[in-house]
Each structure stands twice: as structure tokens, then as C-alpha cells.
């Protein structure tokens, strides 16, 4: 999930607000709309094969994450014809389906023998289905993504630090499997001198303006027992959102922020978190998996210096926050037939394998379950492990209102020191209840 996000890593500097494969527009050209980031570069390269095979040209409208949601939701809501295809946020699926923005793909999938069983189940639920857990499909899973962690493997491997850490905590310094271990590592490195430089424990998401702190804190909340609603009674949130265990998870996140982050960490999201790692400030770094290829290639912190691990397990479960998007055909397009040809092409196994090789994150089982996949990249096995434990935020049509409420309540407690964790979650239940009441769902 990425809605109104900050431009991450500076990876999209080569992509402007609008990018075209050709300066000449043809009647059959398709325009694909997405965010301006590194995977978009890979998609431009990949799509050249589609043009060679079909003769259909491809144009691209790529918008920085800071403007992504506003730009394209406005386009959809105004029934605009700019986008023939759109790779939309996972959270848009409910609103896009209910408001008729996307073409329902069930009949097309049946005709072309495209089975959703061929894709990673979590990505089908997260990117394609509305209502959730029903066989109603509005997108093809396009870009898998999930929150995970990187760590300074070169620091962890230093004999003197290994010795000191084991004497203090009683276990071998390595990627943490639990939150207790993660906290101990962060405390161990906080304000430590390494190579004459003061370093810090961890970089975590705290950004208030869009969705940052929600995308960070949910990784911990899920594992401490937080759930969005009663599984047996939709929109029944009391005791699930604000359980005592969920409050403990929020308290943990605040403790990690207070004790073990670098100075000036009150408004951190993808770009800032990656910068903290790339500049050698932190031992641990929370971020979406799409950042991993670029970090691995970084001359200062990549290669043998970087390691990857999935979100740790908590006392009540083991989950990670889902990111990523599906690709949809816009219902207002005059070129739906050609757009559907692109969907069919993109679903092909060979295309999906090349998508992964170019830097995209395939959601096709045949690609990610290939015996060679874990060894294909240093972070591939961590991606697989992480995608097996994903959980996502609300995909309701009112998700933006729901998100704004969580951003405020969580940030007020974690960063601004307002109230208690229990009070923050109690208030969140009230906020969300009001939203669903306004929607006529409660």
C-alpha cells in the first residue's frame, strides 16, 4: 500500500511526470498510469516486448508518490480518459469497484484462461478482490511488496561486537526473530561508536502526512493481537482494534522510537528511512521490499555489507504489512480491447520472469515458487518469507478517512507524547465507528 507517499530513495529521478516510449502518439497507443519510482523504469523496459509482439505502442504517465493518489484518484473520479491502464494502490480497489472506475475482469480471465489460483494468494486478496475474499476481480496482481528489514551485516559480523553482545544478552548477534531481540539489537547499537562515527539502533516509519506511521506501526500491532474487526461480525471493532494486547504493541513501537532512532526521526517514511541506512547512521532499517535492489547495489552499504530479514514475530502472531499494487483496465478508456491484450501479455509466465529479473516483484506462483527463485537475488528468500505473512489495511471506499484517523491517533501518541496507547486506540475505534456509521455500514 502506498497512497500519498514521499518520493522514495530518489530512484525515480530519471522519470518525469509524463514519460513516453515514443514521442509520436498513435491511435492504438495505450497510456499506463503509475507512480514514478524504480519499478516503473523496469516496466518501461519490459513493455517494449509488448509493442514488438502486438504493434501497440505504450506511453506512460508516471507521477511522484507525493502526488500519486491525488492525481489519479481525481482522474478516475472525473471519468477522465488519460489512463487506459492503471497500476493503482491496493487500497483503491473497493472504491474503484463500487464507483465503476475499473473494468471487472472475471469474464476476461475466464475467456483467456487466466486463473487467480496461479498468483500468490495474498496478492489476489490484496490487489484484485472486491469484496475481499470473494471471486470478484478488478485487477491482475502486478507489483508485490511488503514491509521488511535490512541490517548492517558487516557490523553484526565484527568479532568484538559479537562477543560483547553475547555477553550482554546471551545469544548470538544476528537477524532478530522476535521483537525482544529486535529491541536488544537496537539498544546495543544506539549511540555506539563505529569507525569513529556515532551510529544509532533503527530507522522506523513515523511520517504523519500520508500513511507512513500507519505502514510502520501495523507490523508490530498485528503481531501483538491487533485486528481490524471481529472476524464473525463485520465492522465490530471494539476489543479488536483496541485490545489490551494491541495497546502493548503500540507501546513497544513508541519505546523503539524513543530509545533507538536517530535524532530528527519524527517524520520518517521510505525515502528518509533509506537515507538513514545509506548514510551509515543505523544498524536496522524498516522499509518496503521495493527498496532492496537499490540498497543492495549501493557501493557504501550494499553487497556483502547488507543483510535482509522478515518482520519479527510477536507474542500473538507473525505478520507483515502488505504493500504493492494490481494493474487494472480503466472503464472510461476508449481502448479497452488493447488494454486487455496488455493484461493477457503481462500475465504470461515468461513475461513475469523477466519482470522479476528487471527489478519488478512478480506475484506469479510459477516465478516465485521456482526452485531457483530463492537464490536469484540476495533478498529473494526474505521477500518470499515476508509475502507469506502479509496483512493489509482497510480497502474500504472510505479508506482515506480511515487512514487519516489512524495517522493522527498513532502519531499523537508515538511521536507527540499525547496520552496513552490505550487512549489512542480507544479514540481510533470511535473515529472508525463514526466513518462506518456515516457510510451506513453500522
pLDDT band at 23 (very low <50, low <70, confident <90, very high): very low
Calculate the average pLDDT of the chain: 93
Residue 18 clears pLDDT 70, i.e. is over it = no
pLDDT band at 27 (very low <50, low <70, confident <90, very high): low
pLDDT band at 150 (very low <50, low <70, confident <90, very high): very high
What pLDDT was estimated at residue 310?
98
HEC string of the chain? CCCCCCCCCCCCCCCCCCEECCCCCCCCCEEEEEECCHHHHHHHHHHHHHHHHHCCCEEEEEECHHHHHHHHHHHHHCCCCCCCEEEEEHHHHHHHHHCCCECCCHHHHHHHCCCHHHECHHHHHHHCECCCCCCCECCEEEEEEEEEEEEEHHHHCCHHHHHHHHHHHCCCCCCCCEHHHHHHHHHHHCCEEECCEEEEEEECCCCCCCCHHHHHHHHHHHHCCCCCCECCECCCCCCCCCCHHHHHHHHHHHHHHHHHCCCCCCCCCHHHHHHHHHCCCEEEEEEEHHHHHHHHHCCCCCHHHEEEECCCECCCCCCEEEEEEEEEEECCCCCHHHHHHHHHHHCCHHHHHHHHHHCCCCCEHHHHCCCCHHHCCCCHHHHHHHHCCEECCCCCCCHHHHHHHHHHHHHHHHCCCCCCHHHHHHHHHHHHHHHHHHCCCC
What percentage of the chain carries pLDDT values higher than 90? 90
Q: What value does the mean pLDDT take over residues 390-411?
A: 95
Q: What value does the mean pLDDT take over residues 153-180?
A: 98
pLDDT band at 28 (very low <50, low <70, confident <90, very high): confident
Query: How does pLDDT run across 227-249, given as a tens digit for each residue?
Result: 999 999 999 999 999 999 999 99
What pLDDT was estimated at residue 65?
84
Residue 9 clears pLDDT 70, i.e. is over it = no
What pLDDT was estimated at residue 11?
39
Query: How does pLDDT run across 277-330, given as a tens digit for each residue?
Result: 999 999 999 999 999 999 999 999 999 999 999 999 999 999 999 999 999 999
What pLDDT was estimated at residue 13?
37
Q: What value does the mean pLDDT take over residues 51-65?
A: 95
What pLDDT was estimated at residue 440?
96
What pLDDT was estimated at residue 174?
98
Query: How does pLDDT run across 360-384, given as a tens digit for each residue?
Result: 999 999 999 999 999 999 999 999 9
Residue 24 clears pLDDT 70, i.e. is over it = no
Q: What value does the mean pLDDT take over residues 347-359?
A: 97
pTM (predicted TM-score): 0.92
pLDDT band at 194 (very low <50, low <70, confident <90, very high): very high
Q: What value does the mean pLDDT take over residues 401-424?
A: 98
What pLDDT was estimated at residue 118?
98
Amino acid at each position: 500500500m502506498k497512497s500519498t507517499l514521499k518520493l522514495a530513495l530518489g530512484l525515480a529521478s530519471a522519470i518525469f511526470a509524463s514519460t513516453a516510449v515514443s514521442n509520436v502518439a498513435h491511435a492504438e497507443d495505450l497510456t499506463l498510469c503509475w507512480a514514478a519510482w524504480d519499478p516503473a523504469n523496469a516496466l518501461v523496459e519490459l513493455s517494449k516486448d509488448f509493442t514488438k509482439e502486438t504493434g501497440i505502442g505504450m506511453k506512460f504517465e508516471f507521477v511522484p508518490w507525493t502526488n500519486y493518489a491525488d492525481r489519479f484518484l481525481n482522474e478516475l473520479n472525473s471519468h477522465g480518459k488519460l489512463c487506459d491502464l492503471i497500476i493503482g494502490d491496493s487500497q483503491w480497489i473497493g472504491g474503484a469497484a463500487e464507483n465503476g472506475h475499473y473494468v471487472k475482469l472475471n469474464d476476461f480471465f475466464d475467456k483467456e484462461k487466466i486463473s487467480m489460483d496461479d498468483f500468490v494468494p495474498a496478492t489476489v486478496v490484496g490487489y484484485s478482490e472486491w469484496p475481499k475474499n470473494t471471486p470478484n476481480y478488478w485487477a491482475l496482481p502486478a507489483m508485490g511488496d511488503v514491509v521488511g528489514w535490512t541490517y548492517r551485516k558487516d557490523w553484526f559480523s565484527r568479532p568484538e561486537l559479537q562477543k560483547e553482545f553475547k555477553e550482554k544478552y546471551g545469544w548470538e548477534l544476528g537477524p532478530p526473530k522476535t521483537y525482544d531481540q529486535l529491541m536488544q539489537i537496537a539498544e546495543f547499537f544506539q549511540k555506539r561508536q563505529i569507525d569513529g562515527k556515532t551510529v544509532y539502533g533503527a530507522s522506523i516509519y513515523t511520517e504523519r502526512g500520508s500513511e507512513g506511521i500507519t505502514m510502520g506501526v501495523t507490523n508490530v500491532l498485528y503481531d501483538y493481537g491487533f485486528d481490524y474487526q471481529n472476524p464473525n461480525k463485520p465492522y465490530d471493532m471494539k476489543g479488536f482494534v483496541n485490545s489490551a494486547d494491541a495497546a502493548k504493541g503500540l507501546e513497544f513501537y513508541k519505546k523503539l522510537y524513543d530509545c533507538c532512532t536517530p535524532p530528527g526521526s519524527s517524520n520518517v517514511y521510505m525515502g528518509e528511512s533509506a537515507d538513514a541506512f545509506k548514510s551509515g547512521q543505523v544498524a536496522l532499517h524498516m522499509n518496503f521490499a521495493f527498496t532492496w535492489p537499490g540498497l543492495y547495489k549501493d557501493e557504501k552499504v550494499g553487497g556483502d555489507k547488507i543483510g535482509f530479514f522478515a518482520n519479527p514475530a510477536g507474542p500473538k502472531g507473525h505478520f507483515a504489512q502488505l504493500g504493492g499494487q494490481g494493474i487494472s483496465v480503466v472503464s472510461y478508456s476508449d481502448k479497452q480491447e488493447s488494454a486487455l491484450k496488455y493484461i493477457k501479455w503481462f500475465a504470461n509466465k515468461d513475461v513475469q520472469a523477466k519482470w522479476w529479473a528487471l527489478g519488478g516483484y512478480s506475484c506469479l506462483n510459477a516465478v516465485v515458487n521456482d526452485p531457483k527463485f530463492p537464490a536469484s537475488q540476495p533478498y529473494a528468500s526474505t521477500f518470499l518469507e515476508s509475502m507469506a505473512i502479509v496483512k493489509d489495511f482497510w480497502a474500504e471506499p472510505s479508506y482515506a478517512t480511515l487512514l487519516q484517523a489512524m495517522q493522527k491517533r498513532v502519531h499523537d501518541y508515538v511521536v507527540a507524547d499525547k496520552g496513552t496507547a490505550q487512549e489512542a486506540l480507544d479514540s481510533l475505534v470511535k473515529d472508525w465507528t463514526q466513518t462506518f456509521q456515516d457510510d451506513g455500514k453500522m
